[in-house]
Amino acid sequence: MRAMSAEKLPRSGAKRENLRAKGQFWTPDWTADFMAAYALRDKPGEMLDPALGQGAFFLAAKRHALSRDYALKLHGRDVDRTILGLAKTAGLTDEDLGRVEFRDFVLDPPDSLFPAIIANPPYIRHHRLPQSYKEKLRDFAQKTTGGRIDGRAGLHVYFLIRALLSLAPGGRLAFIVSADICEGVFAPALWRWICGKYKLDALVMFAQEAAPFPDVDTNALVCLIQNTPPSPYFQWSRCVKPCSVELAALAEGKPIPAGGNLTIHCREISEALVTGISRPPADHSRARFTLGDFATVMRGIVTGDNDFFFMTAARARHLGIPEAFLVKALGRTRDVEGDSFDAHDIKRLEAKGRPTRLLNVNGMAFGSLPQEVRKYLLEGEARGLPQKTLIKTRTPWYRMETRKIPPILFAYLGRRDVRFIRNEAKVVPLTCLLCVYPKRSDSAFVEGLWKVLSNSETVANLRMVGKSYGGDAIKVEPRALERLPLPEKLVVENGLAGAMSPKQQALNFGGL
C-alpha cells in the first residue's frame, strides 16, 4: 500500500503485477484526511511521509495546515523516482516536493526525528523480497526489538518499526497497513514491544463497505501511536462507512455521536495482546475449552505439482496406473458443496472431470513398480519435475507426503466458505484444506466434536483466531485453529468434557 488518490486499481495483467512488485496500493483522500488530523493534531512544524507515492498524505497535510493557519514543512522518502511526475499531476508543487529523498527508509533512515509521521508503507510480501535484503531487515528488527521477526513478514512490518524509531518524543504516527501485521506469528512479540515503549492511542478497523482498498486481497487497519509513555488502554474502533468527519473527531480526541458509522471500544492493552490487537475485544482472555483440548490440526498435502500428481480417475485408467498406487483426495474447497463430503460427491466430481486421485508410490523401489507407473515417472523427469523447489527436497523426487485420513476437514480461507467439513468419503486433502484429528477415535467422541465444530457459535469464534483479509475474508492457520475457543455449553452438552483426561480436567476446571 502506498499513498495515492483513489483511482480504480487494475485487477490483473502487467499493471497489477507492477503494483504488487512495488507494493503500490493507494490511499483514498477520506482516509488520508483523518490520518493527517491525528498526526498534525499538535500543529507540528514538520511532517514525514516515508513512502510518498502519489502524495495523498502531503495533500491531506496541506489541507489540514491551511485550515488551521500554520506553516508546515513536508519531508518525504521513496525509492521510485517516477512518483514525482504522479505527485505533481495530483497537485503538489516543486516547493512541496523539495524535501523528498530517494533512499531506502528502513535500512538508510533519516538523520533526524520528526514530530509527525504519516505512512502507507509498500505492501510487498516476503516472497517478493530478495533473500539478502530480507536477512538485513530481520537483523535490523532483531537488534531493535530484541526478538526475531518471522521470515514471512512483509516489508510493511519493518516500515512500522523504523517509523517508530524516527518519531520524536511526543510525536504522533498515523500508519495504515494490512491487518496481518497484528495477526502473523511474529505479531504478539512485535506488539508487546510497541505497547511497552509507545502509547497506542487508537486502532481503526474497516468493514467491507468501508474498505480503503476494496480491490486488494488484504484487510487494512490504521494505527495511531504517540511517542509518550505507554497507556494500559486504547480506543479500538470499526468503521462501517467512509466517514472522514467522525474519524477526524476520533483522531482529534473529540466526542463522537452514538449510532454513527463508528463502533468504539475502550480496551485494555493486556486483553488485546492476548485476543489480538486487530480482532474485536473478548470478554475473557482465555476460553475454558479450545479445539486443541480435543484435536490436533495439520495442513493438507503439498504435492509440488498438482498437474502431475493429482489426476482424474479416467486419466489414471488411461495411463494404466493401478488403483493400488492412488489415494482418493480432495483438491479444492469449492468442490465441497455443503458441510459434508461423501462417496456420492466423489462420483459427482468424477462426472465433472475433476481430479480425485493422488499418485502415491511410496515404499517401493523404482524397479519394482509396474511398467506403466515407471513410464509416467520418467515423463515427469523429462519435464524437469525433480528440479522444482519443493520436489527436489524429496528422496526419491516422486515420494509423496502422507496423511492419515482425517474425520474432519477445515476450509481455512474464504468469506462464506470458512467451515468444518465431515469427511465421510475418507479422502486426504491437498493444501487447500486442513486436517482435524480428534484425540480419541471412538465414534461418539468424533461425532460430539463434529457437532460442536459445526455449530454457528463455534464458527463465529473463528474471527478470534484467524487473519483478516479483504472482502471480509479470514484465514486460519493450523496452530491458530487449535486455539479456537469452543463454547463451554456445547462442549458439555456433547459429552466432550467428560471424555477429557484427569490432567486436562484439572487444567480446564481449575482442579475442581
What is the DSSP secondary-structure string of 153-204? --HHHHHHHHHHHTEEEEEEEEEEEEGGGGTSTTHHHHHHHHHHHSEEEEEE
Phi-psi region of 304 (alpha: psi -120 to 50; beta: other; left: phi over 0): left
Q: Are residues 355 and 461 in the same domain?
A: yes
Helices in 201-305 by DSSP H: which ranges?
Answer: 244-251, 269-275
CA distance 483 to 505: 17
Same domain, 266 and 301: no
Phi, psi of 44 (to 5 degrees): -70, 160
In terms of pLDDT, which residue wins out, 221 or 276? 221
**Residue 6 domain-assigned (yes or no):** no
Measure Cα distances from 189 to 169, 219, 403, 456 in Å: 23, 21, 32, 32
334 found inside a domain:
yes
Q: Are residues 119 and 256 in the same domain?
A: yes
At 258 the pLDDT is 66
Q: Residue 11: pLDDT above 60?
A: no
* Same domain flag for 342 and 423: yes
Name the domain count of the chain: 2
Do 259 and 308 lie in one domain? The reply is no
Residue 125: pLDDT band by 50, 70, 90 thresholds? low
Which stretch, 135-139, 411-415, 431-435, has highest mean pLDDT? 431-435
Residues 265 and 345 in one domain: no
Report, as an integer, the average pLDDT of 245-273. 86
CATH code (residue 38): 3.40.50.150
pLDDT of 256 reads 80
pLDDT of 413 strictly over 90: no
Does residue 143 lie within any of the structural domains? yes
User: What pLDDT is stored for residue 2 in this prediction?
Assistant: 45
Residues 219 and 87 in one domain: yes
pLDDT at position 384 over 60: yes
Is the pLDDT score of 126 beyond 80? no
Q: Check residue 10 and give its pLDDT.
A: 41
Place of cell 512479540: 189
Last residue of a domain, one of 275, 303, 329: 275
Higher pLDDT, 254 or 322: 322
d(C-alpha 194, C-alpha 186), whole Å: 13
165 & 307 share domain: no
> What does the pLDDT read at residue 281?
82
Question: Which amino acid type is present at position 477?
Answer: E
pLDDT of residue 298: 96
pLDDT at 206 over 50: yes
86: cell is 504522479
- 282 within a domain of the structure (yes/no): no
CA torsion sign for 300, 304, 306, 308 is: negative
Q: Is residue 3 part of a domain?
A: no
Whether pLDDT at 470 is above 90: no
Dihedral sign for Cα 28, 29, 30, 34, please: positive
pLDDT digits (tens, 9 = 90+) for 70-96: 999 999 999 999 999 999 999 999 999
Q: Identify whether residues 347 and 232 lie together within a single domain.
A: no
Residue 134's pLDDT band (cuts 50, 70, 90): confident
Query: Mean pLDDT of all residues in the chain?
Result: 87
Percent share of the chain, pLDDT over 90: 62
Whether 248 and 344 share a structural domain: no
* Average pLDDT of span 412-417: 62
Question: Residue 352: pLDDT band by 50, 70, 90 thresholds?
Answer: very high
Residues 253 and 358 in one domain: no
Amino acid, single-letter form, for residue 37: A
Supply the range of the domain harboring residue 224: 13-275
Q: Note whether 248 and 326 are same-domain residues.
A: no
Please list the alpha-helical segments (H only) found in 365-417. Answer: 371-382
Of 2-16, 122-136, 179-193, 354-368, minimum mean pLDDT range: 2-16
Q: Is residue 283 part of a domain?
A: no
Q: Do 350 and 356 form a contact (C-beta atoms < 8 A)?
A: yes
- 4 lies in a domain? no
For residue 392, the SS3 value is helix
Q: How confident is the model at residue 215 (pLDDT cuts 50, 70, 90)?
A: low
Which among 6-15, 184-193, 284-293 has the top mean pLDDT? 184-193
More confident residue, 47 or 411: 47
Task: Write out the E strands in 242-285.
Answer: 262-268
Stretch 488-497: mean pLDDT: 92
- Interhelix angle 56-68/29-39, nearest 10 degrees: 60
Q: Is residue 281 part of a domain?
A: no
Q: List the single range of 199-208, 210-219, 284-293 with lowest mean pLDDT.
A: 210-219
Query: What integer pLDDT is reported at residue 512 of this predicted model?
Result: 37
